[in-house]
Structure 1
Amino acid sequence: MTFVGLFGILAGLLAWPFAFADRANRRPIVFVAAYLVHVASAVVYFYYIQSASSDAYLYYYDEYGFYAHPVRFGTGFVIHLTQFLKANFGGSFLDYFLVFQAMGFWGIVFLMRTFEEIYGELGARAPMLVYLMLFLPGIHFWTSAIGKDAPLFLATSLSVWSMMHLRRRALVFAAAIFIMVLIRPHIALLAMLSLALAAFMDPKARGYVKVTLLAVALAGAAVVAGTVQSAFDLDVTSAESVGEFLTRQSEVTGSMGGGTAVIGASFPVRVVSLLFRPFFIDAEGAFGLIASVENVFIMFVIGTILFRMRGTLRLARNVFFLRYALFFSMALIILLSLIYYNVGLGLRQKMMIMPGLLAFFAALHAVRMARRSRPTVSSA
């Protein structure tokens, strides 16, 4: 490890001032423990792929010479970023795992901050059990490697956190969209459309506020749609073009499915596979069993949101940022299910869903806890 890796570790520690909403009630042990787990995950991931294939090799070694061509969005941007840093600062393969893990950890920090603010606005302190959601293995593992997952997790966490006070955090949301555009423009488009829908369905906003926010969101979506078109040769305004794009995706990924493929499966099967596979019976090895345990918790989270549908709809109707979180999570589930082809892809990509999903789950719990703590007035 060189100074580049040390810089990556320091970059993660610099998230400390942003981790706590209430300085009086901060829990530094959660921050420290989460960061130790995250750095350890980066090291484990690094040694794990020494005997397995990974996109990290493509980003670090650039075997196909992408760096010699103009910058493109998505994979091309991550390659250019990694190669630019290598050309100017050097650094080993492990060093860049430590650099990228810092991005993923900042996403975890803003998710932690979101939990704290949810409970704080209800006059409560987040219980330690809520913080355990920050230690889901997949969140740490998949956001600790060189690639697109770490910056995307950061961007989705930022977008959810910024929605809690959008007027004050508009620049934060803009930064989140910018990161999404660089890494996966179509995710940025979903975020902008989710914002537009959340604004349009706001029962509290005055007409001119709703129209203004809706116009800004749609204008942003139009700009991002242009980026999607240039990046993927996809006209998002044309159902035929979108259909052709999904067909191309199926043809490309059909040859990559492997033993855990669900090529040709119905949409409901793809949704279930994306969210809950592997599930013990199809788990392979220790990592598969760990993922299966995590999926049990994800099933509990989604089951709770569905079981408490009245509370879910009430929160979505009355709280702007939760409406955005719900719409964005649902949009991601639909899109990722459409392009899902095997368990490995699902495990990685569903981490984008976690910030919105876990924030909504925390809000449901916080409201329930706040109601239980209210003093009851007895009738004389």
Structure 2
Amino acid sequence: MEQVKILDPTWMKYFGEGTTFILWLTYFPSKILGLSYTTGNLLFGFLGFIGIRYIFLLVYNYFPTNHDILGIPLFPTVFYISNLHFWTSGVGKDSITFWAISWFLFSIQQYKEKWWQATIAFFFVYMARPHMGQALIGGAAVAILMGTDIKRSYKFGLATLAVIGSIFMSSYTLDALKLEDFDLATLEAFSSSKSGNLNTVNVGSGVNISSYSIPMKLFTYLFRPLFFDAHNIVSFISSFENLLYLWLSLFIYKNWSVEALRDMPLFLKAAMVTFIPVTFAFMNALSNLGIAMRMKNMLMIYFYFLFVFNCT
């Protein structure tokens, strides 16, 4: 609660976007029930687990076949990737955002019955990280228009709602982020300022991306740290994960098909359309590999499943 100084603090005075939203969520269990920070980690970790369960069910139900590497099946092995659990197991925006994005995608995949759940899930994404909520609702609109498994009457209705929602929320998103517009330069400056002192080359996982070309920035964001970047056990373990992503990326270039793109389930289309602008925003701003691993964890697993789907 000391992260945000509020005179005469009460529960609703903490309500807002970002960190204040997390303080609002934790006010009752912390201040009223007196639960410890360890208990809070268990509660938020449980939400992270529910998010993983949503993704597990989506892949189980909508992916036709599996693929393996060296005899090891990609599904369900992906659900044991370390960073997937590291960033979704504690009190903070990461657990909430990951859980809510998974819930949102799970709900729009079954939009006829669960559209109202998508609305609730979007609320949590937007309140925890407004820029992610804005990207997610825009991604859902484009994915719905691209979808071939949605009836035309539903498609235009859902897409219209998503577009209207995206436009309506844009002004609130700018206010929440204290930005004037959504141009790339503004988003880069915002991401850099939010990263603070860790976003430098003076820390163990810092890199000087200002001198990198655009392809190298993209490679750094998606696939590093690799083993030559490892400076502790966490980055060393992450290197195995990033090496897997890199290998699958090279594999998919050889096996890409238009049919696979067309036949992707709605949730994966929405996730990938969201993933692209978020990636381009962060790759130009985050010069700390640890922060990059944290920020890309919200959507990276869907990037992974893009490979799995196209390898089948």
| TM-score computed with the length of structure 1 as normaliser | 0.70
* In 1: Cα distance, 2:82 partner to 2:21 partner: 27
- SS of aligned partner of 2:113: coil
- Matching residue of 1:170: 115
Contact residue 195 and residue 291 of structure 2 kept, 8 A: no
- Matching residue of 1:224: 169
- Matching residue of 1:104: 48
Deviation at 1:316, TM superposition (A): 2.4
How many correspondences in the alignment? 298
- Matching residue of 1:261: 207
Matches within 5 A, 1:76-87: 76-87=20-31
- Matching residue of 2:309: 363
Deviation at 1:192, TM superposition (A): 1.2
Decide whether aligned partners of structure 1 residues 334 and 125 sit closer, same or farther in structure 2, where only a CA change above 3 A counts.
closer
- Matching residue of 1:145: 90
* In 2: Cα distance, 1:300 partner to 1:125 partner: 17
| TM-score computed with the length of structure 2 as normaliser | 0.84
Residue 116 of structure 1 aligns with an amino acid whose one-letter code is Y
Deviation at 1:65, TM superposition (A): 2.5
Q: Which moved more, 1:259-268 or 1:154-163?
A: 259-268
- SS of aligned partner of 2:297: helix
Name which of 205, 210, 214 aligns with 2:159.
Answer: 214
- Matching residue of 1:45: none
Q: Which moved more, 1:350-359 or 1:338-347?
A: 350-359
Larger of the two Rg values belongs to structure: 1
Decide whether aligned partners of structure 1 residues 213 and 330 sit closer, same or farther in structure 2, where only a CA change above 3 A counts.
same
Name which of 175, 186, 192 aligns with 1:250.
Answer: 192
- Matching residue of 1:349: 295
RMSD: 2.7
Residue 80 of structure 1 aligns with an amino acid whose one-letter code is W
- Matching residue of 2:130: 185
Deviation at 1:105, TM superposition (A): 0.8
Residue 158 of structure 2 aligns with an amino acid whose one-letter code is L
User: 1:151-189 CA distances to partner (integer Å, 9 max, x unpaired)?
Assistant: 111122223323332222212322221111110111111
Q: Which moved more, 1:77-86 or 1:281-290?
A: 77-86
Decide whether aligned partners of structure 1 residues 305 and 90 sit closer, same or farther in structure 2, where only a CA change above 3 A counts.
farther
Matches within 5 A, 1:1-380: 62-66=2-6, 68=9, 69-119=13-63, 122=64, 129=73, 130-202=75-147, 208-236=153-181, 239=183, 243-251=185-193, 253=195, 255-256=197-198, 257=200, 258-259=202-203, 260-264=206-210, 265-310=212-257, 313-321=258-266, 322-365=268-311, 368=312
* In 2: Cα distance, 1:267 partner to 1:339 partner: 12
Decide whether aligned partners of structure 1 residues 164 and 209 sit closer, same or farther in structure 2, where only a CA change above 3 A counts.
closer
Deviation at 1:251, TM superposition (A): 4.9
- SS of aligned partner of 1:167: helix
Deviation at 1:207, TM superposition (A): 5.1
Deviation at 1:205, TM superposition (A): 5.4
* In 2: Cα distance, 1:99 partner to 1:210 partner: 37
Residue 78 of structure 2 aligns with an amino acid whose one-letter code is M
Deviation at 1:99, TM superposition (A): 1.4
Contact residue 14 and residue 23 of structure 2 kept, 8 A: no
Report percent identity of matched pairs.
22
- SS of aligned partner of 1:106: helix
* In 2: Cα distance, 1:173 partner to 1:346 partner: 27
Deviation at 1:66, TM superposition (A): 5.0
Uncovered stretches (5+) of structure 2, i.e. residues with no partner: none
Uncovered stretches (5+) of structure 1, i.e. residues with no partner: 1-60, 369-380
* In 2: Cα distance, 1:167 partner to 1:305 partner: 33
Deviation at 1:70, TM superposition (A): 4.4
- List 4+ stretches of structure 1 deviating above 6 A: 124-128
